[in-house]
């Protein structure tokens, strides 16, 4: 990556498909070296690259920092964005296995990327997951949003809270047509990132999910690794240690996120990620021009 203080000139953007499923689909994510851009210019990059998110990478004295943007705002964390950034960093390092400590949202966490025949397998530790039951007001609103829910769900956070809402089957999930305006209103009311609606995992720990986050400018996310990490932490209390979640089918871009859990002295720890490939390199200028 270019150094963070590189001049404001046209530079390369790598579009990465993060969290592929069987070599297909994935979530297109723009990754580029950060520079002396304004936040308005950073918010312009996802639209310019036709991606939902953009990741800006800074390298200073061997410290690697990430900043995540949608068209509407900066996020403290982005799971598939972290996977995409790790894939680009590993590709540039040119080593079979790449390990790094990443800094984002005021946190430091470990990342790892390994070259596989199908792409670069990237994973990271998103940090402690906090879980709580929804309040009565939150529970009532969640139930009104998702009539097929099999429970009140849980509020989970790895830096920013979101609701995890269970539905019975993949068929129930695929036929959801939620009111995005009401989801946005609910999320704004309770300070939530979005709604991660998931199916109960099968005996092999495989589930499906859809993530609705209109409050941050993403009506539906193709892949959401941090919410999958939250779900893995929640289900680990029932003894599940490996969770595989399929996403993106409703958007014709199949994706898969894998999370594993372990327990140590600090509590439940999660590693989450997926397979990524670098698909496009484009030039982008500081005014958002392509």
Regarding whether 269 and 134 lie in a shared domain, the answer is: yes
Range of the domain at 64: 11-126+276-284
Residue 114 lies in a domain: yes
Could you tell me the pLDDT band of residue 27, with boundaries at 50, 70 and 90? Answer: very high
| Torsion angle of C-alpha atoms 168, 274, 225, 261, degrees rounded to 10 | 80
* 221 or 290, which is more confident: 221
Burial 173-198 (b: 16+ CB within 10 A, else e): beebebeeeebbebbeebebbbbbbb
The enclosing domain of 233 has a CATH number of 3.10.310.10
Q: Supply the pLDDT for residue 287.
A: 56
25 to each of 7, 82, 87, 224, how far by Cα in Å? 34, 17, 16, 14
Cβ proximity of 145 and 179 under 8 Å: yes
246 pLDDT exceeds 90? Answer: yes
Domain co-membership, 73 together with 204:
no
Looking at the structure of the chain, the number of domains it has is 2
Give the number of other CB atoms < 10 A from CB of residue 260. Answer: 19
Q: Is the pLDDT of residue 288 over 60?
A: no
Are 189 and 253 in the same domain? yes
Domain contains 6: no
The stretch 52-68 carries a mean pLDDT of 93
For the ranges 29-43, 73-87, 132-146, 242-256, which has the lowest average pLDDT? 132-146
Longest distance between any two alpha carbons in the chain, whole Å: 53
Please provide the average confidence, as pLDDT, over all residues in the chain: 91
48 and 101 share one domain: yes
Q: In angstroms, what CA-CA distances link 135 with 126, 138, 166, 194, 259? A: 25, 5, 17, 16, 27
Could you tell me if 61 and 160 lie in one domain?
Answer: no
User: Per the domain annotation, does 1 fall within a domain?
Assistant: no
Does the pLDDT value for residue 6 go beyond 80?
no
pTM of the model: 0.90
Residues 155 and 86 in one domain: no
Over residues 269-282, the mean pLDDT reads 94
Same domain for 59 and 164? no
DSSP 8-state code for residue 192: -
Is the pLDDT assigned to residue 3 strictly greater than 80? no
Is the model's pLDDT at 97 over the cut of 80?
A: yes
192 and 253 belong to one structural domain:
yes
Q: Where are the alpha helices (DSSP H) in the chain?
A: 39-49, 79-93, 136-145, 170-174, 180-190, 225-236
- What would the mean pLDDT of 135-141 be, rounded to a whole number? 90
141 and 47, same domain (yes or no): no
> Cα–Cα distance between 62 and 188 in angstroms, integer?
38
Residue 141 has pLDDT above 70, yes or no: yes
Residues 6+ apart with CB under 8 A from 180: 212, 214, 219
The answer to whether 169 touches 247, Cβ cutoff 8 Å, is: no
Question: Is a pLDDT exceeding 90 seen at residue 265?
Answer: no
At residue 266, the pLDDT reads: 72
Q: Which residue has the higher pLDDT, 126 or 266?
A: 126
Same domain, 70 and 196: no
pLDDT at 280 over 80: yes
């Amino acid at each position: 990556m270019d150094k963070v203080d590189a001049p404001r000139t046209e530079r390369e953007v790598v579009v990465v498909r993060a969290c592929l499923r069987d070599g297909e689909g994935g979530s297109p994510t723009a990754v580029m070296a950060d520079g002396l851009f304004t936040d308005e210019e950073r918010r312009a990059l996802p639209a310019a690259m036709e991606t939902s998110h953009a990741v800006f990478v800074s390298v200073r004295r061997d410290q690697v920092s990430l900043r995540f943007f949608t068209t509407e705002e900066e996020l403290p964390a982005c799971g598939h964005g972290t996977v995409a950034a790790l894939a680009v960093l590993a590709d540039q390092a040119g080593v079979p296995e790449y390990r790094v400590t990443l800094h984002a949202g005021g946190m430091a966490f470990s990342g790892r990327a390994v070259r596989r025949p199908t792409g670069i397998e990237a994973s990271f530790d998103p940090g402690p997951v906090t879980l709580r039951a929804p309040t009565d007001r939150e529970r009532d609103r969640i139930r009104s949003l998702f009539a097929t829910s099999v429970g009140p769900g849980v509020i989970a956070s790895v830096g920013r809270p979101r609701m995890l809402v269970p539905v019975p089957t993949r068929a129930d999930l695929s036929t959801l047509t939620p009111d995005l305006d009401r989801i946005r209103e609910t999320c704004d009311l309770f300070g939530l990132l979005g709604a991660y609606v998931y199916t109960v995992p099968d005996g092999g720990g495989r589930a499906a999910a859809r993530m609705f986050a209109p409050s941050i400018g993403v009506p539906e996310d193709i892949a959401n690794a941090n919410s999958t990490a939250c779900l893995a932490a929640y289900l680990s209390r029932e003894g599940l240690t490996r969770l595989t979640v399929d996403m993106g089918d409703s958007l014709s871009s199949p994706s898969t996120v894998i999370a594993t859990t372990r327990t140590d002295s600090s509590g439940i720890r999660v590693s989450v990620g997926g397979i990524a490939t670098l698909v496009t390199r484009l030039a982008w200028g500081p005014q958002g021009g392509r």
